[in-house]
Chain A
Amino acid sequence: MTQIQQVRKGSTPLLILSVLSTEKMYGYQIMRELEQRSAGYFTMTAALLYPALHQLEADGLAESEWQDNPGKRRRKYYTITSKGRKALTDSKAEWQTFLTNLFKTLKPSGKVQENGS
């Protein structure tokens, strides 16, 4: 697995919580919403999504309820909990700090540019 793939996999809970922070959704809906929001960049298989959803539930970051879907199978809707909202805020801040510092470090410094010019 490449480093970028690892980062993408690591960001799965954050992405799911972010989608759930707007409204309660069922698994398939979450998958399509993620795809749409990221213009197809963040796609994941159901084999990755559902265990991640169940893990969020086990950690108390999301909760679920079954709802009838007339003439069809029932759907399991997920909602973010207050603990999940806090985790989302903290996680967003951490990613923000990480990405700011990453790009700051990657950007050539003024001194290097001066020497190079």
Chain B
Amino acid sequence: MKNKGTFYKRLVLALISVVLLGSFLAFSSTPDVLAQNDTEGGQSINALVMGQAWVTSYDDAGGLNDIAYVPFGNYFGFSTELSAYSGAVVDNISNSYVLNWRPNLVGSSMYVCGLRVAYRLPDGVGGYSSSFSYLHIPGSVLLPRTSSVNWSTDWTGGCIYLKSGSPSAVFNKHINIPDGSRIDYLRVYYYRASLGYLPLIKR
């Protein structure tokens, strides 16, 4: 009887230990594991929807030119991605410029936390400065081109996400870069959540 009681006691303690240890490991490492495996709830990240950010110039009559573009969302957690080289020269006489973001998904699983344009000022002799200048905005200053969507920010107020409405809605922000500058790159800073569930179910 005594041995049987001891056996059950140890069995219960072992069970508790396993559950607690499993929970701890899962809570602390699941995101990393998912990120390393490029999966979100079992999905490959390559199959997930990507956001888009780009710079557009307008000619005030419906004409446009998308001059720097970066799809993003290839990594979990806080991350950043960079456009390819653009090399577009700013012409403020004829064009206006905006930063754009298209979420392509609804919900807080992906935030845009910042956009940064790297440009070079003209050097006055036909070339450009050897160093970059930056125009850097938080995501939360972007606003939709249409009133038919709802949006919100994260805890900090710096990152933005689409709450409801068409995921194709475009958010924009006017930018003012000195005339004659050369826009080289657009960088986007974002946060992508990794969806993991504990302790018994992982989706």
A, B in one complex: no
Residues of chain B whose beta carbon lies under 8 Å from any beta carbon of chain A: none
A interface list, Cβ under 8 A from B? none
